[in-house]
Chain A
Amino acid sequence: MKHTIAILVKDHPGVLARVSSLFNRRRFNIESIAAGHSEKKGITRITIVTEGDENILEQITKQLNKLVDVLRVRDLPKGTSVERELALIKVRTKSTDQRTEIMQLIEAFRGHIVDIGKQALTIEITGTQEKINAKLKLLESFGILEISRTGKVSLSRGATRILN
């Protein structure tokens, strides 16, 4: 079973290495990892998507909590949180017709064109991982040149916060 874990860490050098080293050493799997500033200065928020049963999730949480730079660890279940990922997709365009076709498609699924060249278009899509995967499938037939995905980020619904 997949889990999304939010980890608040002190913004220290090497803190990502500590977190990823722990996952590696204990043979926990990392499907995606995203890190960036949190609402509080000096604190970074890391979102990790991992796979495992309840026991593994419990061990991951406990082991992460043992790291001194880790301040909070929360499992964010799908039903009670909003999840998004951003993808940039560079697609080959061979003709004006094809370009128009792609642009209509993008509009239909609320993506944005962020770069247009003679032979390629770059599209930005935001959504759940499932949504992005579905769009990628649609674009495949045009010829995808490059993809860059952020990995999932997630927040719990409502007014609750991890850090008080």
Chain B
Amino acid sequence: MKLSGTEIVVECLKREKVKVVFGIPGGAIMPLYDTIDKKSSFTHILTKHEQGAVHAADGYARASGNVGVCFATSGPGATNLVTGLANAYLDSIPLVAFTGQVISPLIGTDAFQEVDITGITIPITKNNYLVMDVKDLASTIKEAFYLARTGRPGPVLIDFPKDVQVAKTDFHYPEKDKYSGYRPTLKGNLNQIKKAAKAIQEAKKPLIYAGGGIINSNASPELQELVKKTNIPVTTTLMGLGGFPEDHPLSLGMLGMHGLYCANVSISEADLIIALGTRFDDRVTGNIKKFCPKAKFIHVDIDPAEISKNIKISIPIVGDVKYVLAKLNQLVEPKKEKEWLERITELKEKNPLQYQRDDQLRPQYIIEKLDKLTKGDAIVVTDVGQHQMWAAQYYQYRYPRSFITSGGLGTMGFGLPSAIGAQFGAPKKRVVCIAGDGGFQMNVQELATVVKHKLPIILIIMNNGYLGMVRQWQELFFKKRYASTSLDGSPDFAQLVQVYGGKGIRVTTKNDLDSALSKALSGNEFVLLDCIIPPEENVFPMVSPGEAINNMLEGNQS
């Protein structure tokens, strides 16, 4: 039997076990929407903006571990995906985006709603395709899903013209999952792993620096086993939070620009850094010339291009961190560096996170309260800015996929739509979205999507009336000239959400917060908590740009 292009898409998505797709229809993708309206094995969630759709697909992928899928039409629909694709690319999140394209004879004529979306997205996708023949469609979709989820995951885009969507052909879904030009190394070189085991044996001050790769490859159990055997302390990147339980005595928390004092100082004193699924980003290393001057590096990553990109590595291991750690755990001898661990304990105990614990409702208090009430058993989704850093610092992440944030791209507006995706990806989990009043307003239209689908998201807005992180930098590095950072003129968010049909509470005191948050968590419906916090509250510790990461500003403490 012959199938049309759009029927092929539906059939392929069924075989890829896609459950939810986020998107918005438009001229060039109408045949696909017409087909899924008749029959499909997945739910389609209509967002209010294509950026909402792609971030939702991203949040879905992060919460569930499956490939996120989104649809958009040609032209503006496609360009509205760009930020979300770049976001997924920088955080290595598996996505497949389908975009409609103008009919093939019109391609290249600057037709209505025509853009060269494959050209535009070359640098921000793992690969992309313009499918000009319906016969190539099924194999392209198969390849796209395979690329998105294997190796270093990432977004893939498939653009297909309207005439290809309606053209018919015999359907055949290829079984193969081998592609010339694409063969990720999974197992890691045994000799290199042996070298790593030996280096660990010899190290006096070893430290594990774990990134998002631990989450992507589901390697948290293997990491915990390594620590159990070797008693090596662990610091994680923003992307790695949840990859190692933060209530473990050997957890140092996050490192980097807003990292914890003990994490940044320990890594600077270490003699061996075991970097796992991470990429020595500038927000982690600070001034790279001064990063870990005394250390030797083991680096495990599935992407060979990340090895020795930013820093020279003495023991590189290309491979999936899960496979490599499983092997390493067999080879490594049990050990316990007593002196080093005493030093770590001392650093940890003497330098806890600090803020003014007074009567005021402060952002750090909100996160601590959330942590106490949920005990790590929630999915915390953030937007980007100060609140994101407080959420990273003050919540104890105990499980993989319990923290969802825009790390590499730092996309304001990511929070709300990705929380929607996360809730679809983990329907039984409590999703708490934390956003600032700036970023929240960048995709505020998705409130309608939350209400429409009765998603029990708790949306906490840390409302300080400013683009807070920019304000903080203006205070510290731009002589307190607060150029265009005041958000004066924003609406009352508790009232706004009511117009959308949701529940909103304005929270101004600690007591308000305690009762509103407890109530929200015991209920099972969407609620927005508009928390009014002091504008002058800054994120500390902080490493100034260009400084070594153990040179931290301590800021406003009690």
Known: A21-B122, A21-B123, A68-B126. A59 touches B309 (CB 8 A): yes
Please state if A14 and B179 are interface contacts (CB–CB under 8 Å).
no
Which of chain B's residues has its CB closest to A20's CB? B122
Please state if B308 and A55 are interface contacts (CB–CB under 8 Å).
yes
Other-chain contact of A62, B122, B130, B304 (Cβ < 8 Å): B304
Residue B1 CB within 8 A of the other chain: no
The CA of A82 and the CA of B426, in the complex, are separated in Å by 59
The CA of A22 and the CA of B122, in the complex, are separated in Å by 9
Q: Give, as a whole number of angstroms, the nearest-CB distance from A41 to chain B.
A: 14
Please state if A65 and B126 are interface contacts (CB–CB under 8 Å).
no
Residues of A close to B305: CB separation below 8 A: 59, 62-63, 65-66
Q: How many residues of A contact B (CB 8 A)?
A: 20
Residue B508 CB within 8 A of the other chain: no
Residue A25 CB within 8 A of the other chain: yes
Please state if B130 and A13 are interface contacts (CB–CB under 8 Å).
yes
Interface of B is mostly: mixed
Please state if A68 and B127 are interface contacts (CB–CB under 8 Å).
yes
Residue A88 CB within 8 A of the other chain: no
Known: A59-B305, A59-B309, A62-B305. A68 touches B147 (CB 8 A): yes
Please state if B181 and A18 are interface contacts (CB–CB under 8 Å).
no
Please state if A14 and B118 are interface contacts (CB–CB under 8 Å).
yes
Please state if B308 and A68 are interface contacts (CB–CB under 8 Å).
no
Residues of A close to B123: CB separation below 8 A: 21-22, 25
Residue A70 CB within 8 A of the other chain: yes
Which of chain A's residues has its CB closest to B123's CB? A25
Q: Give, as a whole number of angstroms, the nearest-CB distance from B201 to chain A.
A: 29
The CA of A17 and the CA of B121, in the complex, are separated in Å by 12
Chain A proximity mask over B114-145: 1 for CB below 8 Å, otherwise 0: 00001100110011001000000000000000
Please state if A18 and B122 are interface contacts (CB–CB under 8 Å).
yes
Residues of A close to B109: CB separation below 8 A: none
Please state if A69 and B308 are interface contacts (CB–CB under 8 Å).
no
Residue B180 CB within 8 A of the other chain: yes
The CA of A68 and the CA of B180, in the complex, are separated in Å by 8
Which of chain B's residues has its CB closest to A43's CB? B180
A 80-103 contacts with B by CB, 8 A = none
Q: Give, as a whole number of angstroms, the nearest-CB distance from A18 to chain B.
A: 6
Which of chain B's residues has its CB closest to A63's CB? B305
The CA of A13 and the CA of B126, in the complex, are separated in Å by 16
Known: A59-B309, A71-B180. A65 touches B122 (CB 8 A): no
Residues of B close to A55: CB separation below 8 A: 308
Please state if B304 and A65 are interface contacts (CB–CB under 8 Å).
yes
Residue A58 CB within 8 A of the other chain: yes
Which of chain A's residues has its CB closest to B147's CB? A68
Q: Give, as a whole number of angstroms, the nearest-CB distance from B63 to chain A.
A: 27
Residues of B close to A71: CB separation below 8 A: 180-181
Residue A149 CB within 8 A of the other chain: no
The CA of A62 and the CA of B152, in the complex, are separated in Å by 14
Q: Give, as a whole number of angstroms, the nearest-CB distance from B541 to chain A.
A: 32
Please state if B181 and A70 are interface contacts (CB–CB under 8 Å).
yes
Residues of A close to B130: CB separation below 8 A: 13-14
A 42-74 contacts with B by CB, 8 A = 55, 58-59, 62-63, 65-71
Residues of B close to A62: CB separation below 8 A: 304-305, 309
Chain B proximity mask over A10-29: 1 for CB below 8 Å, otherwise 0: 10011001100110010000
The CA of A109 and the CA of B262, in the complex, are separated in Å by 71
The CA of A78 and the CA of B182, in the complex, are separated in Å by 29
Residues of A close to B530: CB separation below 8 A: none
Residues of A close to B127: CB separation below 8 A: 67-69
Q: Give, as a whole number of angstroms, the nearest-CB distance from A163 to chain B.
A: 10
Residues of B close to A67: CB separation below 8 A: 127, 181
B 288-320 contacts with A by CB, 8 A = 303-305, 308-309
Please state if A68 and B179 are interface contacts (CB–CB under 8 Å).
yes
Known: A59-B309, A65-B304. A14 touches B182 (CB 8 A): no
Residues of B close to A65: CB separation below 8 A: 304-305
Residues of A close to B303: CB separation below 8 A: 66
The CA of A65 and the CA of B309, in the complex, are separated in Å by 14
Residues of B close to A70: CB separation below 8 A: 181
Please state if A17 and B119 are interface contacts (CB–CB under 8 Å).
yes
Other-chain contact of A14, B119, B147, B181, B308 (Cβ < 8 Å): B119
The CA of A58 and the CA of B118, in the complex, are separated in Å by 27
Residues of B close to A13: CB separation below 8 A: 130
The CA of A22 and the CA of B125, in the complex, are separated in Å by 12
Please state if B147 and A17 are interface contacts (CB–CB under 8 Å).
no
Please state if A68 and B122 are interface contacts (CB–CB under 8 Å).
no
The CA of A17 and the CA of B303, in the complex, are separated in Å by 22
Other-chain contact of A68, B119, B181, B304 (Cβ < 8 Å): B181
Known: A14-B118, A68-B179, A70-B181. A58 touches B126 (CB 8 A): no
The CA of A22 and the CA of B126, in the complex, are separated in Å by 12
The CA of A23 and the CA of B85, in the complex, are separated in Å by 21
Residues of B close to A25: CB separation below 8 A: 123
Q: Give, as a whole number of angstroms, the nearest-CB distance from A68 to chain B.
A: 4
Which of chain A's residues has its CB closest to B126's CB? A68
Q: Give, as a whole number of angstroms, the nearest-CB distance from A19 to chain B.
A: 10
The CA of A18 and the CA of B305, in the complex, are separated in Å by 17
Residues of B close to A18: CB separation below 8 A: 122
Residues of B close to A59: CB separation below 8 A: 305, 309
Residues of A close to B181: CB separation below 8 A: 10, 67-71
Residues of B close to A14: CB separation below 8 A: 118-119, 122, 130
The CA of A17 and the CA of B119, in the complex, are separated in Å by 8
Q: Give, as a whole number of angstroms, the nearest-CB distance from A62 to chain B.
A: 4
Tell me which of A17, A25, A59, A66 has the highest count of chain B C-beta atoms within 10 A of its own C-beta. Answer: A66
The CA of A67 and the CA of B118, in the complex, are separated in Å by 14
Please state if A58 and B308 are interface contacts (CB–CB under 8 Å).
yes
Q: Give, as a whole number of angstroms, the nearest-CB distance from B26 to chain A.
A: 24
Instruction: Knowing that A17-B122, A21-B123, A68-B126 touch, tell me 7 more A-B residue pairs with CB under 8 angstroms.
Output: A14-B119, A17-B119, A59-B309, A62-B305, A62-B309, A66-B303, A68-B182
Please name 13 pairs of A and B residues whose Cβ atoms are closer than 8 Å in the assembled complex, sorted by A: A10-B180, A13-B130, A14-B122, A21-B123, A55-B308, A58-B308, A59-B309, A67-B127, A67-B181, A68-B126, A68-B127, A69-B127, A70-B181
List residues of chain A with CB under 8 Å of any chain B CB: 10, 13-14, 17-18, 21-22, 25, 55, 58-59, 62-63, 65-71
| 3 residue pairs, one from A and one from B, having the closest CB atoms | A62-B305, A68-B127, A71-B181
